[in-house]
Structures are given as structure tokens and as C-alpha cells.
Amino acid sequence: MAGPLPWKTAWVTGASTGIGREIALQLAAAGVKVAASARSADKLQHLGQGVMAVPLDVTDGDACRRAVENIESKLGPIDLAVLGAGTYRPVSLDELDPAEFSHMMTTNYMGVVNCVAGLAPRMAARGSGHLSWIASVAGYMGLPKAAAYGPSKAALISLAESLYPEMKQRGIRVSVINPGFVETPLTAQNDFAMPFLMKPEEAARRSIDGLAAGRFEVAYPRRFVAILKAVRLLPYPMFFRLISRAVLKER
């Protein structure tokens, strides 16, 4: 990590495993007071002494508001939030279950909205703070098997773009983190090749560095991001041909 970090107190959700856990650990190691949330209270206890465990289901809006009150009363004002709680399951055409779509939207999208609703009024009253959430490069465009997950991540990117200008007027910074493939329990279920697969330690380091640099979009790995952004600009016939070849192995 380059230099001292600009935050005193951070709240990380999705901190029991994977990217969120690494972000919580690295922030704490750099001297930031960290509150860590996820549903698995037992896993949060193992994050170490410098980390306050705040068990929470982000789909419960009232619980998110109470969690923010609780953290701020114990650790002081939250000046960075990294909202990473999320879930994923690949969807196949043979099992289009609306409940699965709803679950992913409720957890991935409304989970972030619930936390932002608890945080934003307090940050606005102070005229400072940094709100960030983990979307995904899967939110850049529709991709095979991502029919339930992709829209929840596209919604998070749109949420960040929508809130950025007004939040800035109130002194609040907004950032969206868009990782490529990271080796975590979430991606362990994938049965397809994951190009440019990263370790969670590296993903956390890049997330923190990007946030500390004040970037709106923190996206990695760079080469994968550049390829995907170029693909997104193709006319649809070319786009579908390329995606079908790359993901469905169509000839």
C-alpha cells in the first residue's frame, strides 16, 4: 500500500470471507479502525483484535441502520464504507427460477442500498465520507450464465453513477469497485475457465489503493477490464458472435 491511508474508521460488509475479508484485514493492518459485517458471526470473530465484529444480514434495512448507529457510537464516524456483501450462482436456461433472481437482486443491490441509506444522512450532516461498493465487470454487459447476477451488478454501477454528482455536492465521495475473476468461495463453483484469475489479497490491495487515490471506478485486472470495455462497444452482431465463441465455445 502506498503511504498512509486517508481514513480513520471503515465499515466493510461481506467481511467473513473472500475479498471483503482481505480488505478488512489490510485496512486494520494499516491502522484503520475497522468494523466488519456478514451473517456468519463466528467467522468475523477470527479477524483479529483490531476489528469490531458486527454480524448483519444486509437484506434487513432496519438492521443496517442500527449497525451504522452501533459502529459510530463505538468507533466514531465511519469515513469509509466498502460494501462488499454479495452472492452469486450461475443461471442455466433449464432452471430459470425467479426466486433466484430476486435473491440476488435483494442481496447484491438492495443490500448496498440499505447500507447507503443508513450511512448517507450521517455523512451528509458531517459534509464528508467515502462510500464504495463492490459491483463487478459482469455488470458491464449481459453475459451467458449471468442472467441473475449480472443485472444486480449493472444496477450497482448505475447506482454509483446516479449518486456521484449529488453526493459530491454534499462532500461525500462515491466509488464503485469492479473486479474481474478473484479466487474466493464465490467463484469456486464456476465450471468454466476464468481468465486473469486473481488472489483475494491482490484484489484487496488494488481496491484499497484505488479508493485511497480517490478514483470513481476501481477496476482490475487492467488488461481484462480494457478487453471487456472494448467488447462492450462492438455492434451487437459482432458482440454476440464473440461472446458465444468465448463463453459457449460456439464455432
Ligand X SMILES: NC(=O)c1ccc[n+]([C@@H]2O[C@H](COP(=O)([O-])OP(=O)(O)OC[C@H]3O[C@@H](n4cnc5c(N)ncnc54)[C@H](OP(=O)(O)O)[C@@H]3O)[C@@H](O)[C@H]2O)c1
Looking at the annotation, which residues are catalytic? 149
Window 145-184: contact mask with ligand X (x via CB under 6 A): ----------------------------------x-xx-x
Burial letters 45-73, b for 16+ CB under 10 A, else e: eebeeebbbbbbebbeeebbbebbeebbe
In sequence order, the 6+-apart residues with CB closer than 8 A to the CB of 73 are none
CA-to-CA distance for 241 and 121, rounded, in angstroms?
46
| Strand pairing class (33-37; 217-220) | unpaired
Q: Can you tell me which of 19, 23, 157, 167 binds ligand X, judged by CB under 6 A?
A: 19
Span from 53-61, 164-172, 212-220, 237-245 in contact with ligand X (CB under 6 A): 53-61
Sheet with strand 173-179: strands edge to edge: 51-53, 33-37, 9-13, 80-83, 130-134, 173-179, 217-220
What angle in degrees, to the nearest 10, is found between the helix axes of 111-126 and 61-75?
Answer: 40
- Residue 228 touching ligand X (CB under 6 A): no
Q: Can you tell me which of 25, 32, 34, 38 binds ligand X, judged by CB under 6 A?
A: 38
Q: Which is nearer to ligand X, 30 or 63 (CB)?
A: 63
Span from 32-40, 116-124, 213-221, 238-246 in contact with ligand X (CB under 6 A): 32-40
Q: Can you tell me which of 24, 54, 84, 154 binds ligand X, judged by CB under 6 A?
A: 84
Binding-site ranges for ligand X (CB under 6 A): 13-20, 38-40, 56-59, 84-88, 107, 111, 134, 136, 179, 181-182, 184-187
